[in-house]
A and B are shown apart, each in its own frame.
Chain A
Amino acid sequence: MTKAPEQEHISVQQQDFDLAAEYQALTANNQSDGAVVHFVGLVRDNNLGRQVQALELEHYPAMTSKALSKLVDEARQRWDLGRIRLIHRVGKLSLGEQIVFVGVTSKHRGSAFAACEFLMDQLKTRAPFWKKEHTSEGAHWVAARASDQVKAGDW
């Protein structure tokens, strides 16, 4: 007997995640869902014209999981969803590394697409993570973007 896969997985972790394993966890023994949508956020080399060398992610440990669970609950209230997996990394990350994973399954694609984008948009403005960029000119905290607030508010 294989253990039943989790309907929901939320993790805040330093270590990297394996996309193939995440896809497997979303789809294994899941014959009721016909759609899988996932998003992966990566550390890119340039932000607002500055050459980025690395990122450092701080969070509020007691609040992060709680905030992410709340977003998942809200997504489930809006759409009929199957499995949801949400991973956010913290600590120091190099260029090209994976930062965040959101994976959603549903019977049809519409709900999975919408829920995946909703979760990312809400996470960007409501989950307590902060990025510090390390650049050739030193380290500084990343400023929040007004466009992220607008996107989150559109839902």
Chain B
Amino acid sequence: MIKVLFFAQLREVLNCASLELEANVSNIAELRAQLAKKGQRWQEFLASDKALVAVNQTLVNEDCTLNSGDEVAFFPPVTGG
């Protein structure tokens, strides 16, 4: 299983804080594509130019490989400080 978390505006527009998926996607690009199937909002807000992504709490790129047990988080560009 892969655990997927959503933060801030993403959590609100998707109305979802977290979900779990079978680990049948091999990288981030595939995970985005799989989640986009959940509907229009998912497709729009999880686009790679809108949502940053971290795997096991580290920012990564689209080709980052995924393994069962990973924690993936999608979130909007950060605005702290």
Contacts and interface: CB of A to CB of B under 8 A. Distances in A.
Contacts of B7: 58, 60, 128, 130
Interface residues of B, number: 18
A125 B9 CA distance: 16
A148 B52 CA distance: 15
B interface majority secondary structure: mixed
- A interface: dominant SS: mixed
A127 to B, nearest CB: 5
Interface string A122-151: 011111111110000000011110000100
Interface of A: 41, 57-60, 62-63, 66-67, 70, 88, 99-100, 120, 123-132, 141-144, 149
22 contacts: A41-B81, A58-B7, A60-B54, A62-B71, A63-B54, A63-B58, A63-B73, A66-B57, A67-B57, A88-B81, A99-B80, A123-B81, A124-B79, A129-B78, A130-B8, A130-B79, A130-B80, A141-B12, A143-B79, A144-B76, A144-B79, A149-B77
